[in-house]
Chain A
Amino acid sequence: QVQLVQSGAEATKPGASVKVSCKASGYTFITYLIHWVRQAPGQGLEWMGVINPRTGGTKYAPKLQGRVTVTRETSTSTVYMELSSLRSEDTALYFCARERGGIAAPAKDFDYWGQGTLVTVSS
């Protein structure tokens, strides 16, 4: 069965960086796009970026451009999201999600999600 398993909670300070992992299993890793979505406490969902695991190509939300980097390691079927210059407003639950349909026919919605990783930014 398809699973996306994320790394554990992180507590970090303003100005630092954090790197969250998302390990995929149950399907062919390089055939589906992986997205990152975050949710601040008590708030809604916010799209952050996407990676094509086959090519490594990425696209990011304009407001995060320059601070967010998504990479992948095909040998371990893992996607990473690194966010730098952290601020208190980056405190959130971070999710990875698979785009339904596969790279050949991307469907523009998300069928499987990781369990979420809480990132807390506080001095």
Chain B
Amino acid sequence: QSALTQPASVSGSPGQSITISCTGTTSDVGSYNLVSWYQQRPGRAPKLMIYEVAKRPSGVSNRFSGSKSGNTASLTISGLQAEDEADYYCCSYTGSTLPYVFGTGTEVTVL
């Protein structure tokens, strides 16, 4: 089971929208609506931002949204703000002997 593929970096200006892709296979992203997204600032623990593809936990800004098409999930951040600068990881349940696979991670930069 390989890591899910994410772009290494995405950038945008304040107020813009950006989208981070997360590409897996029919064994993970394509088979389950169990994709989650995590925000991680340097030296800190990951924070759950999206679960079950498109649901937001209480307290997470509605500027964050998720979607999925086929084997690719996406995280969109609208109205980009300086505080959104962080690394973002997707994660998918696989139902296999390795039940969770994470993405390669994307560094978001606010220009």
Residues on A facing B (Cβ under 8 Å): 35, 37, 44-47, 50, 59, 61-62, 95, 97, 100, 107-111, 113-116
Further contacts, 18 of them, CB under 8 A, given A44-B102, A109-B51, A111-B48: A44-B3, A45-B38, A45-B105, A46-B102, A47-B100, A59-B99, A62-B97, A97-B46, A107-B52, A108-B32, A108-B34, A109-B34, A109-B36, A110-B91, A113-B46, A115-B44, A115-B45, A116-B43
Confirm or deny: B103 has a beta carbon within 8 angstroms of a beta carbon on chain A: yes
Q: Are A45 and B102 in contact (CB under 8 A)?
A: yes
- Choose among B45, B51, B91, B99 the residue that contacts A100 (Cβ–Cβ < 8 A): B51
**Nearest Cβ on chain B to A36's Cβ, whole angstroms:** 11
Q: Which residues of A contact B46 (CB under 8 A)?
A: 37, 45, 95, 97, 110, 113
**Nearest Cβ on chain A to B95's Cβ, whole angstroms:** 9
Determine the distance from Cα of A95 to Cα of B104 in the docked complex, in whole angstroms.
17
Confirm or deny: B64 has a beta carbon within 8 angstroms of a beta carbon on chain A: no
Per-position binary interface string of chain B over residues 42-72, scored 1 when its CB falls under 8 Å from any chain A CB and 0 otherwise: 0111111001100001000000000000000
User: When A47-B99, A62-B97 are in contact, do A110 and B36 touch as well, CB less than 8 Å?
Assistant: yes
Determine the distance from Cα of A109 to Cα of B47 in the docked complex, in whole angstroms.
11
**Nearest Cβ on chain A to B94's Cβ, whole angstroms:** 10
